[in-house]
Amino acid sequence: MRTRRPSILLAVVMAVLTAACSTDGSPAPPPRGSVAPITSGAPGSSAERPPLPSGFPEMGGAVRLPLPAGDPGLIALWESAEVGSAAYDFYVAALPPAGYPIIGLYPGGGVAVIRFRVQGEVWQVVAHRATHGQAAIEVRLDRP
């Protein structure tokens, strides 16, 4: 009778894992480190972007770009000729003194993310290489 206990425990663990891994029809999250846009809750709804707060730190030499349509989670976008960790290092140093407490640092080779608070919400600075070799710097609503 003792030999059944591990098999029952294994069956319970497998049932829990299967339930946790099953989908509910919602789209799968983007792969880790990707920079996929977030969408609003209701299909066809147009979510309004929150404005970038006045006095938000901007990296010297970065050029502000127009925001693409269809990505309501993107709040601001810049390009910089300074590649590598320059944008990440700048925002790690600049956010706290400007009043934006950092709650998570995620340096990476291709994509680096800084999660920080803005008036009770969590936002992100995402730095990654743009398609033509420059650095892209995004400020966006928090996402997984």
For residue range 89-125, list pLDDT tens digits in order: 999 999 999 999 999 999 988 899 999 999 999 999 9
Q: Is 11 a residue whose pLDDT tops 80?
A: no
CA separation for the pair 129, 119 (Å, rounded): 29
Q: Between the CA of residue 25 and those of 17, 20, 43, 45, 76, what are the distances in Å?
A: 17, 13, 14, 19, 31
**Whole-number pLDDT of residue 10:** 38
Across the beta sheet with 121-129, what order do the strands follow? 63-64, 74-80, 135-141, 121-129, 111-118, 102-106
| pLDDT band at residue 47 using 50, 70 and 90 as cut-offs | low
Q: Please indicate, yes or no, if residue 45 is contained in any of the structural domains.
A: no
Which ranges of the chain does DSSP label H, i.e. alpha helix? Answer: 4-21, 86-94
Res 133: pLDDT: 85
Domain count within the chain: 1
pTM attached to this predicted model: 0.66
Does some domain include residue 124?
A: yes
Q: What is the mean pLDDT of residues 58-82?
A: 94
Structure tokens that stand for 19 in this block: 């339930």
In-domain check, residue 103: yes
pLDDT at 42 over 80: no
Shortest CA distance to 100 belongs to which of 49, 141, 56? Answer: 56
Q: Does residue 81 form part of some domain?
A: yes
Tell me the residue range of the domain where 116 lies.
62-144
Residue 91 domain-assigned (yes or no): yes
- pLDDT at position 84: 87
Tell me whether residue 56 is in a domain: no
Neighbours of 113 (CB within 10 A): 21
pLDDT for residue 137: 97
